Structure 1
Amino acid sequence: MENTWVYQGSEPIKIKKYLQSLGMGHRLFNDLKNGEGEFLVDHRQVRPTTQILPHQPLTVKAQPEPADESVAVSNEQLNIVYEDNNWLVVDKPAGISSIPGPTILNGTVLNRVKGYLLSSGSADLRPHLITRLDRFTGGLLLVAKHHIASSMISQQVQQHKMIKEYMALVEGSLTDKHGEINKPIARREGKIARVIAKDGQRALTEYWVEKQEDNWTQVRVRLHTGRTHQIRVHFASIGHPLIGDHLYGGDTSKYDHQLLHASKISFMDPFTLKQLTFTSAMPAVFN
């Protein structure tokens, strides 16, 4: 696997500093430096301490990451919204898990992506899910096809620069057309459900009312943090649980899972330095 950038700065810069400015982590750079890759400037192999000049191309070559043999291969359907050499954007149906777990070993998005890469003849067979969704939440997932991509996007994830929006149906009528829910979320030992608690992690959810009826509201939601069950916990905490959400008190008389859909994802591609934005229409069950 290799990627090339053309340095657009005005002053010479060391390879390490330049790659760090693009998002590459210290650990990955050291791995590449210590035998797992090589650096080329103007198509000539150079030492990792080399400086590059304005408008010079830098190519990074990396050995494929060993496959995780504990992850089974699945050839089940995978709805791919976008693909290039570094990324897959997948539209996951509700009911499919993102990754294998104790009770679901195969058929997850990760299993299916591994099967897809294998059938495509990819040398990299250890995909990395950059975003994940609850089993019964459908919508867009970002997958890094190799560890270079995973490392270079991690800074955006950690700094919450990646835009993630959802559509949800919640019970009742919201008073404010636009608002924020800023409440810390904590986990309790032995419990699946998260709780609002002073000792929890900071959690910020922003929402806009898209449509409203007497007993339900459709909201567009943007996450500014990434806590487990964040949207579900937050709306339940203000008395408007998601319809169908049995875990947080939602009405399950008509739906057997929460009506929540990951409708938009947007991020700066560290390879092309362009903003990539993808959207997914709400499933028919929301109508």
Structure 2
Amino acid sequence: MEFEILYQHRDFIIIYKPCGVSVHKDQETVGLTTQVANQLGMAQVWLVHRLDKVTSGLLILALNAESAAEFSRLFAEHKIQKTYLALSHQKPKKKQGRIIGDMKKARNGAWKLCQSKDNPAITQFASISCEPNLRLFILNPQTGKTHQLRVAMKSLGSPILGDDLYGKNTAEIIHKLDHSFVHLSRGRWQSQRSKNVVFCDRTYLHAARLEFEFHGEKFDVKAMPKEEEWWQKETVIAKINENPFFGNGKILV
């Protein structure tokens, strides 16, 4: 597949990673970095940070070893500010604040948040009601732990929509949002009221903004989520555009 390149610099590019694409090489597919290198006609590009397979959005790739080392340093020193968007069908325990705690492995490949704070995951968040049983979350991770945002959302009592690892079964969520929906096929549901077909075959987490300084130049890159029905709801789009996290509303893509 070809990836959309949102920004191209002589030392790095920023691409849009769709949901369902792994940043690591799967057994049956060519790795993301190999695909992008082929797309650019280069021998190699460097992965400098990661997004979960279920997460869509902005991904930085370095174009040389020197810039890869520089970005690794920036991420290690938490000098790259990341903003994510998420949707949930559950009202959180609190509308905004910080989630802090150590993370430990749980069952079935999941992680859990602990009360201890020896080496904690830290997430700043705010939530906005879009409509009954649907909330938008704006998440700023201040650390970079595995599944950090998905675990943070679960700890709030608001698992991410479509996240079967940390939340309820997708079918249960769909019926909570609208009891008229019936299952058609994998990920496809139809409302018996409007006859509209909707999709909920992804985890609704999106890497929407990256802010950083590279070699003295400041960068602020933003991208709206593109895939799937629930991101395209008018109430969700309106709340995203109203929020100051997108500044004056100027969105790159």
Same fold (TM > 0.5): yes
Runs ≥4 residues deviating over 6 A = none
Q: 1:214 to 1:279 in 2, by over 3 A?
A: same
* TM-fit CA distance, 1:184: 1.3
Contact 2:20-2:53 at 8 Å conserved across structures: yes
Which of 281, 284, 287 lines up with 2:224 in the alignment? Answer: 281
Task: After TM superposition, list the pairs within 5 Å mapping 1:92-131 onto structure 2.
Answer: 92-101=17-26, 103-106=27-30, 108-117=31-40, 119=41, 122=42, 125-131=43-49
Matched, 1:247 2:247: no
TM, length-normalised to structure 1: 0.65
Count of aligned residue pairs for this structure pair: 202
The verdict on how the C-alpha distance between 1:216 and 1:284 changes in structure 2, with shifts beyond 3 A counting, is: same
Of the three residues 95, 110, 113, the one matched with 1:196 is 113
Structure showing greater relative contact order (alpha-carbon pairs closer than 8 Å, 6 or more residues apart)? 2
- Higher-Rg structure is 1
**Contiguous gaps of at least 5 residues in structure 1:** 1-75
Match of 1:8 in 2: none
CA shift in 2, pair 1:116/1:284, >3 Å: closer
Instruction: Specify the SS of the correspondent of 1:154.
Output: helix
Q: Percent identity?
A: 26
Tell me the amino acid that sits aligned with residue 149 of structure 2: I
For structure 2, list consecutive stretches of 5 or more residues without a partner in the other structure.
175-199, 234-253
Distance, in Å, in 1 between the alignment partners of 2:118 and 2:25 is 27
Distance 1:180 1:192 in 2: 25
Residue 241 of structure 1, CA deviation: 0.4
Q: TM-score, normalised by structure 2?
A: 0.73
1:265 alignment partner, one of 188, 199, 210: 210
Q: Which residue of 2 aligns with 1:159?
A: 77
Does the aligned pair in 1 maintain the 2:92–2:157 contact within 8 Å?
A: no
| 1:90 paired to 2:35 | no
Once residues 118 and 203 of structure 2 are traced to their aligned partners in structure 1, the CA distance between those partners, rounded to angstroms, is: 23
